């Protein structure tokens, strides 16, 4: 076993990486409010795991979506628990993200030299809100349907391009199968991929620049 470890150590310097992770200086002013970003990340990972589990049963069609969610909640083994955890974690993720943004702003974490960290964080906040909008539509119930109809109808007030933009969002003039397909693709593939990319930009910057100072 030691020979295998030595082989990897010689090529990857595992011990140096471990030392860098475990010996990072933590400022004395850091408290529980500085953990909000990490809690948001944890919620995202829970979302990925539970969301992936539900894709085995969910059917993204206007005729079967609601029935498939009912099946998950009433017949699939532990389906009720997985979907409930997904919903609770989604609410927690949004709440923790909002509190994290306020904490960073109040402690000046957006100032030089952390401007890029702030920008990537704002993008992640927008992506988090987008998760909420797209995920809300997937059960295809009355609340989800009308929420999506209202949200996608807002850009119609934009002069000249408003109607075109609404049709681009919905996939057609009205909320239907094209809308559900687009929102499902966004929710399960595009948004998770973009979130992972921006997280991989966000966290190394925090590691490099360290935690911002106290108030």
- What is the C-alpha separation between 53 and 25, in angstroms, rounded? 38
CA 57 – CA 138 distance, rounded (Å)? 13
Q: Is 202 annotated as a binding residue?
A: yes
Contacts 24+ apart (CB under 8 A), 144-152: 145/175, 148/175, 148/179, 148/183, 149/175, 152/179
187 is in an annotated binding site: yes
Contact 141, 149 (CB under 8 A): no
Question: In this structure, how many other beta carbons lie within 10 angstroms of the beta carbon of residue 141?
Answer: 15
100 is in an annotated binding site: yes
Q: How far apart are CA 108 and CA 126, in angstroms?
A: 20
Contacts of 13 by beta carbon, 8 Å cutoff, 6+ apart? none
Name residues whose C-beta falls within 8 Å of residue 47's C-beta, 6 or more positions apart in sequence.
Answer: 86, 89, 90, 93, 131
Residues of the binding site: 35, 86, 100, 187, 202
Residues of the binding site for heme b: 86, 100, 187, 202
Residues of the binding site for heme c: 35
């Amino acid at each position: 076993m030691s020979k295998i470890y030595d082989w990897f150590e010689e090529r990857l310097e595992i011990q140096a990486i471990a030392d860098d992770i475990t010996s990072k200086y933590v400022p004395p002013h850091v408290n529980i409010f500085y953990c909000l970003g990490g809690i948001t990340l944890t919620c995202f990972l829970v979302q990925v795991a539970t969301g992936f589990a539900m894709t085995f049963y969910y059917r993204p069609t206007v005729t079967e979506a609601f029935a498939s969610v009912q099946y998950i909640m009433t017949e699939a083994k532990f389906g009720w628990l997985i979907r409930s955890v997904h919903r609770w974690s989604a609410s927690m993720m949004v709440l923790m993200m909002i509190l994290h943004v306020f904490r960073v702003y109040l402690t000046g974490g957006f100032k030089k030299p952390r401007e890029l960290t702030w920008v990537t964080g704002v993008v992640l906040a927008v992506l988090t809100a987008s998760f909420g909008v797209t995920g809300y539509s997937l059960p295809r119930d009355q609340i989800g349907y009308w929420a999506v109809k209202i949200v996608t109808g807002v850009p119609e007030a934009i002069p000249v391009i408003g109607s075109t933009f609404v049709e681009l969002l919905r996939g057609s003039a009205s909320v239907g199968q094209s809308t559900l397909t687009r929102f499902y693709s966004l929710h399960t593939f595009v948004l998770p991929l973009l979130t992972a990319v921006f997280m991989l930009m966000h966290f190394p910057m925090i590691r490099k620049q360290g935690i911002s100072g106290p108030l």
